Chain A
Amino acid sequence: MIRIPEIITRHVLIALLLGGVTGMAFTLFLIEFDRLTGTEAFCTGCHSMELVAVPYRESAHYNPVSGVRASCGDCHVSEGVFAATWDHIRGGKDLFAQLFGPDYDDPAINALHLPEAAFAVRQWFRRSDSATCKRCHTLDAINGTRADTLMIHQQDARGGSCIDCHYNLVHRRVPDRKTFKRDKWNRMIEREFDMPPGEADKLLRQ
C-alpha cells in the first residue's frame, strides 16, 4: 500500500487538477491564438498590412501552381507554440507603432518606411536560417522545371540559406540593404504619389 504524503491534501489535489486544466487550456489557447493571428484575414485587418498584401496576392506564394498557398503566418511566424508566441510578443511593437507611430495606413508613408521593414524581416529570416521557408521547401526535393535548378540547389546552394538568394519574391521590391539608396527611393515614391521634391524626406522626419 502506497502512503500518500501528508502534504498532498485534498486542497492540493484540487489545485493541481485546476492548474493542470488551466495550463492545458492556456496552451491550447496560445496554439489557436498563434494560428488565428497568423491568418491573412487577421493580418490585413490593419489597413497598413492590406497595403503590403496587394503584391503578395500577385505572387507565386499566393497563387502557386501546386495550390499550396502560404499565408502571412506561414512565412512570418515561427513554428512551435513557444517560438510562435514569442514572435507575436515581439510583433507587439509593430502594433504599438501602428497605433502611436507614423500613419502607416497612408500608402505613401507606408512605402517610405517599407525598406527598413524589409531589411528587418530579411535579418529575421537569416537568423532563423530561413526556418519558415523550410516548412514547405526541402532542399533535397527542389527539382524545378529545368534540370539545372536541381543541380544548382544541390551543388551551389549548399551552405547558403534560402533568403540569401530568394528575396523580393512576394512583396514590393526593395533592394538589398548594402545597395539601398534612400535618396533614390524617396524620389521614386514622390514621383509615384505626385509629391513635390523633398516631401518624402519631410514625411519621414515626422
Chain B
Amino acid sequence: MVYPENYNKPTRLLLLVSAIWFGTFGIALAEKVTLSADHWGVAEGKACIDCHKKSSPGLFRQWEESAHAEAGVNCLDCHQAVAADDDAVEHEGAVIATIVSPRDCGRCHTAESKEMHNSVHSQAVALIGNRIPALAESVSEKALLQAGCTQCHGSVVEVRGDGTLSPESWPNTGIGRINPDGSRGSCSACHGRHQFSKAQARAPGACTRCHSGADSPDDEVYAGSKHGLLFTANRHRMNLDSDRWVTGRDYSAAPTCVTCHMGAAPGLNASHDVGMREAWSLNGPVSEQQYLVIFEDGERRELPVAQPVPRRKSDLAKLDGSTATVKAAATPKQRRQAMSRVCVECHSKGFTSGFMRQFDNAMDLYNESFGKPALSIMRALYEKGLLTATAFDEPLEFTYWKLWHDEGTRFRHGAAMAGPSQTGWQGLHRIAQLYYGSFLPQLREVAGEETAKSLIDKYTSDREARNDTGYPRAPIPLVGYGAGKP
C-alpha cells in the first residue's frame, strides 16, 4: 500500500523518516550474530556440561538440541559473571550468575537486546506501577503478585545478603523483569530455555502465555480468528524453523502474533521492539490513538494524539518518571502504515484499509457509547463524594472495572485482530449488558434518580442521546415482550 512515488514531497519525507524507524527498504532479516566464534566456547564451560549431563539431564538435552550447542556456546558463555556482580555466586569453582539477563544475551545478540530494551515490553513493570497497588493490594495480596502479575510483567529481582535470590522475586521470567544488573526484561519470557527454539518463539504460544485472559484476551481472539484457524490447520506449512522468516517469502500459510507485531515482511524489518506498529491503545478505560515517541537514548514511550505532537529536542517524561530529550515521534498513521505492510502480503490494499476502517469504527463505538460516558460519570461521582476514594470498596467500582477492563478490552482486542465472537458475544454484548443492566442501575442507587439522570444527560454523547441511552427502548419480543401471546 505504500509506494513512495504516489506521495507528495512532505509525505515522502515522512515516509523516509518512518522508513528509518521501521527499518524499511531491502529484504528484512532478523539481525544475525556477527561476532566471530572465538567470542564464545570458553574452556571452563565444558566441565559444566559433563556434570549437568548427569545432574540435570532434561536441561542438558534441551541445550544439546539448541543452535547454541551447535555453534559451540556452552553454559558458562551465558552464565559467566564477575565476582563483583550483585548476583554472582561461586559454583563448583566457577563464578556464575543464575539469571542470564538481556544484557548478558546482548553480548552476542546485540540488536535484539537493544530493541527489547527500548520496547514497551521492557517497560512492563513501570506500566502497571499505578495499577498494582489498587488491584493487588486492595483485592489480593503479595501471593498473587508473585505467582500471577509479576510472572508476566516481571519482578524486581532481589539478591539477598547471603547471595541467594529472594524467593519473593525469583523464579520469574516476566518480560519487564528488573534484573540484578539493572537491565530490564527477560529473554526467556518468550524464548523457552535452554533450547531457545526459533519455532517455539514464533508460535503464538510464546505470546499467549501472558496475552490471554481479561487483561489481554489475545489468545482467545486469535484462536477464534481466521488467522488463528489457518495457523492451527497449517502449522506444518509455517516453516517455523527457517533461519529467514519473511512473511510472503518464507511462509504464507498464516500469520502468527510475531508476523504482524514484530516479524519481517518485504520492506519491513523484524524487530524485538514489539508494539511499534500499533496505532491505538487498547488497554485503558478509553482508547486513544498514540504517537510513538523516540528519545535520544533510544528509549520509547507512547503519547495520546490528543496531546500536542512532541517536538524534536523537547523534553518529555519517560515512563519511569525521568525526563529525556525527544528525538522523533511516529504518528499513528505511520505506525499503521508499517502494520499494513504486513497485511498487504496476503490482502489487497482495499481489503486492508477496509478492515482498518471497521476497527476504527469499533473503537469509536466503544469510546463514545461506553468508555467516555462511564469514565466521566465515575470521575463526577468521586468529585461529588458519592463514591469513596478507596478503590474496590463499592459495587459500582467493580462494575466499572469489569466494563472497561474485562469486557471493554475483550471487545477492542477482538476488533483489532478480527475475532468476531470475542468482539461480539464476548465483547460488546457483555459491555452493553453490564452498562445498561448494572452500571446505570448502580449509578442510580449511588447518586439517586435525579443526579443520575443529570450525569447521564451530561456525559452521554449525542449519538447515545439519540438512542435514548439509559432508558427503556422500544419493546421487542426477543426480551420477552408479549411472550406467549399469539
User: Which chain A positions have C-beta within 8 A of B90?
Assistant: 175-176, 178-179
Interface residues as binary, B76-91 with A (CB distance below 8 Å gives 1, 0 otherwise): 0000000100101110
Tell me the bound Cα distance from A174 to B57 in angstroms: 28
B54–A176 touching, CB < 8 Å: no
Q: A160-B93, A164-B92, A175-B89 are in contact. List 7 more A-B contacts (CB 8 A).
A: A148-B57, A173-B164, A178-B90, A179-B88, A184-B160, A187-B161, A188-B162
Tell me the bound Cα distance from A164 to B47 in angstroms: 14
A185–B92 touching, CB < 8 Å: no
The contact sample of 22 A-B pairs, CB cut-off 8 A, is A148-B54, A148-B57, A152-B51, A156-B47, A156-B50, A156-B54, A160-B93, A164-B93, A165-B92, A172-B162, A175-B89, A178-B83, A178-B90, A178-B95, A179-B89, A179-B163, A181-B161, A184-B159, A184-B160, A184-B161, A188-B161, A188-B162
From B160, which residue of chain A is reached at the shortest CB distance?
A188
> Taking the complex as formed, is B55 at the interface, i.e. its CB lies under 8 A from any CB of chain A?
yes
User: Which chain A positions have C-beta within 8 A of B86?
Assistant: 181, 184
Tell me the bound Cα distance from A89 to B47 in angstroms: 40
B95–A179 touching, CB < 8 Å: yes
Give chain B nearest CB distance to A194 CB in angstroms: 15
Tell me the bound Cα distance from A41 to B401 in angstroms: 63
Tell me the bound Cα distance from A178 to B89 in angstroms: 8
B159–A176 touching, CB < 8 Å: no
Tell me the bound Cα distance from A174 to B89 in angstroms: 11
B83–A179 touching, CB < 8 Å: yes
* Chain B contacts to A: CB under 8 angstroms: 47, 50-51, 54-55, 57, 83, 86, 88-90, 92-93, 95, 159-164
A90-128 interface (Cβ within 8 A of B): none
Give chain B nearest CB distance to A158 CB in angstroms: 11
Give chain A nearest CB distance to B301 CB in angstroms: 33
A155–B50 touching, CB < 8 Å: yes
User: Which chain B positions have C-beta within 8 A of A189?
Assistant: 161
Tell me the bound Cα distance from A148 to B53 in angstroms: 9
Give chain B nearest CB distance to A101 CB in angstroms: 23
A174–B50 touching, CB < 8 Å: no
B83–A152 touching, CB < 8 Å: no
> Taking the complex as formed, is A151 at the interface, i.e. its CB lies under 8 A from any CB of chain B?
yes
Give chain B nearest CB distance to A143 CB in angstroms: 13
The 3 closest A-B pairs by CB, nearest first: A188-B161, A176-B90, A175-B163
Tell me the bound Cα distance from A27 to B6 in angstroms: 105
A173–B162 touching, CB < 8 Å: yes
